[in-house]
Amino acid sequence: MATETVGDTTVPNHDETETEPTEFEKNQKRYPKTGSTWLKSLTFSIANRFRFDHLTNPLLKLNPHELIPFIEIQFPLFPHIDVLKDKGNTLFSTHMPHELLPDSVVKTGCKMVYIWRDPKDTFISLWHFFQKKRSDSGPLNGLEESFDMFCNGLSVYGPYLDHVLAYWKAHQESPDQILFLKYETLTADPLPHVKRLAEFMGYRFTAEEEKNGVVEKVVNLCSFETLKNLEANKGDKEREDHPSPYTNDTYFRKGKTGDWKNYLIPDMAARMDGLMEEKFMGTGLLENGK
């Protein structure tokens, strides 16, 4: 369950002089989709901040999914793409369950970062995603039927709760190899967690960088508003200079925590919460992020 959320209401402090909010303050509450798109943009910016400055970051022209390829998609299906030939790229992604990861990932000591989200918001995000992606292929299952399937473990990469739990257990066994993040906690206060992410990846921000606001610049660049408004992520029209399946707004819907309240009735929410309680009880996962 989500334990920390960001409210939409700000109470002004009348004892202080009101100032115009900074770009960072404007953007810090708005992040992409269910976490994977946002995490890709953050990790790419962190790892490549010495290769590219704030004005030449490839995120300004390419979707995050183009810059960090899926090992189960781009490698077997698009082996010719530039990012796979870039020896400077050390970042790859996957939605595969932990038990299906190849030995080349699990047994070589490479570091992994896993992000999870309140399953209710995860479901709503996925449901909208597939509504957009498959809208031209005929009618889709309704919300209630899709939710029932999700609760029964029918999801693209297997049962979601099992997916989360497997990576949580792997993190507990090897915390130096797997960093386990919670979307709601990350959105509530991104700066310390982005610094923690950079340190885990081996790209720790220096004192000078922190003083110069580099952390804020990374978070601001990767914000929902910044990424969604870039030409690379607008509309469904493919770019003539760089055709891509990611050049649409499917990956940038709202980025809000608690959006499930606009779609799920109380009985549906209670059902998912009960499944979480049953699946995660005694593992320490329910307390993660508190």
What CATH number does the domain containing 181 carry? 3.40.50.300
Task: Judge whether residue 241 has pLDDT over 50.
Answer: no
- The residue ranking higher by pLDDT, 174 or 250, is 174
pLDDT reported for residue 127: 86
pLDDT-derived band at 21 (thresholds 50, 70, 90) equals very low
Buried b vs exposed e over 149-177: b needs ≥16 C-beta within 10 Å? ebbeeebeebbbbbbbbbbbebbeeeeee
Q: Are 167 and 180 in contact (CB under 8 A)?
A: yes
Could you tell me the maximum CA-CA distance found in the chain, to the nearest angstrom? 60
Distance separating alpha carbons of residues 276 and 122, to the nearest angstrom: 13
Q: What is the pLDDT of residues 107-157, one digit of tens each?
A: 998 999 999 999 999 999 888 877 776 655 555 688 999 999 999 999 888
**DSSP secondary structure code for residue 259 in this structure:** G
Structure tokens at 226: 């910044």
pLDDT reported for residue 260: 94
Task: Judge whether residue 99 has pLDDT over 90.
Answer: yes
Taking the model in full, what pTM does it have? Answer: 0.79
Question: For the chain, what is the mean pLDDT?
Answer: 81
Residues in CB range of 50: below 8 A, 6 or more apart: none
Q: What amino acid positions are annotated as catalytic residues?
A: 95
pLDDT reported for residue 134: 65
Residue 222: name the closest of 32, 85, 1, 22 by CA.
Answer: 32
User: Is 214 a member of any domain?
Assistant: yes
Domains: count for the chain: 1
Task: Judge whether residue 44 has pLDDT over 90.
Answer: yes
Distance separating alpha carbons of residues 189 and 289, to the nearest angstrom: 11
Query: What's the average model confidence in pLDDT over 24-38?
Result: 51
pLDDT-derived band at 23 (thresholds 50, 70, 90) equals very low
Query: What's the average model confidence in pLDDT over 255-281?
Result: 93
Task: Judge whether residue 5 has pLDDT over 90.
Answer: no
User: Is 14 a member of any domain?
Assistant: no
User: Is 119 a member of any domain?
Assistant: yes
User: Is 108 a member of any domain?
Assistant: yes
Distance separating alpha carbons of residues 180 and 165, to the nearest angstrom: 11
pLDDT-derived band at 82 (thresholds 50, 70, 90) equals confident
User: Is 232 a member of any domain?
Assistant: yes
Query: What's the average model confidence in pLDDT over 78-103?
Result: 90
**Strand ranges inside 102-191, DSSP E:** 112-116, 178-182
Domain of residue 261 covers 26-287
Task: Scan for tokens 């299952």, then name that residue.
Answer: 141
Coarse DSSP helix, strand, coil percentages of the chain, rounded to the nearest 5 percent: 50, 5, 45
Q: What is the pLDDT of residues 176-226, one digit of tens each?
A: 999 999 999 998 999 999 999 999 999 999 999 999 999 999 999 988 778
Task: Judge whether residue 6 has pLDDT over 60.
Answer: no
pLDDT reported for residue 282: 95
User: Is 58 a member of any domain?
Assistant: yes
Distance separating alpha carbons of residues 145 and 151, to the nearest angstrom: 10
User: Is 140 a member of any domain?
Assistant: yes
Distance separating alpha carbons of residues 143 and 151, to the nearest angstrom: 12
Looking at the chain, the whole-number percentage of residues with pLDDT higher than 90 is 51
**DSSP secondary structure code for residue 70 in this structure:** B
Distance separating alpha carbons of residues 187 and 165, to the nearest angstrom: 21
User: Is 203 a member of any domain?
Assistant: yes
